[in-house]
Structure formats: C-alpha cells, structure tokens
Structure 1
Amino acid sequence: MFVSSYLQSITPTANYIAGLAIRFYNIETERQFAFDYAGNIYTRMKNLPNGEWTNWERKTT
C-alpha cells in the first residue's frame, strides 16, 4: 500500500536542534518529530481535516 506523503525540515529553535514533518495525505495526518540538544526525540500529530495538534510527547531520554 502506498501512502502519499512528504518530508519537510523544521526550523531549529532554542529548544530544538533539528526536526522534520511527515504528512500522510491518504490518512489525513501529519506527524512532526523534533530532536533537542540533549538527544531526546519529541513527536506530535496533526489531524489535517480539523487542524488540531496533539501535545508534544517525549519518546526517548
């Protein structure tokens, strides 16, 4: 199964060293990943039809 998607880099900030966004058109979601200076990974998801984001969730320490 192929899912239409794209990758986009997220601009670094004082809190995040790097990040990327993956948007999946077929399932109408976008997931963002960010990496902080301590090496932690954070993720959140957006529901494209209504534009609502979930809160950032830390994946590793």
Structure 2
Amino acid sequence: MQSHLDKLRQAHRDLNRAIDTTRAPGRQEDVKRLKKMRLALKDRIADIGTPRSPRRV
C-alpha cells in the first residue's frame, strides 16, 4: 500500500510542476484540467492516508 501511496504523491508533485510551467494565457483550460486532476489525486492520497474505523454491523 505504501508503494501505491508513494506513486500517487509523485504524480501529485509532477502535476504541480506541470501547472507551474503551463502559465501561457492561451493554456488556461489546460491549467484548469491539471488542477482538477491534482485535486483528485490529493483526495485519493488523503483517503488512503487516513486510518478507517471498523464498520459496525
């Protein structure tokens, strides 16, 4: 599981770099798409990193 989490974190860092380098005015739609992808990755990282309580039946 840690390896998967590390891969997600690396992908998040890669998206940060891509967003930082995509600042041309004509590429704002690309930046919006990248930011949505980055947010989705952040949510997945948070879900995986948060311990879950056992389900009650």
TM-score (normalised: structure 2): 0.19
Of structures 1 and 2, the one scoring higher in RCO (CA 8 A, sep 6+) is 2
Write 1 or 2 for the structure with the bigger share of helix.
2
Write 1 or 2 for the structure with the bigger share of strand.
1
TM-score (normalised: structure 1): 0.18
Larger radius of gyration: 2
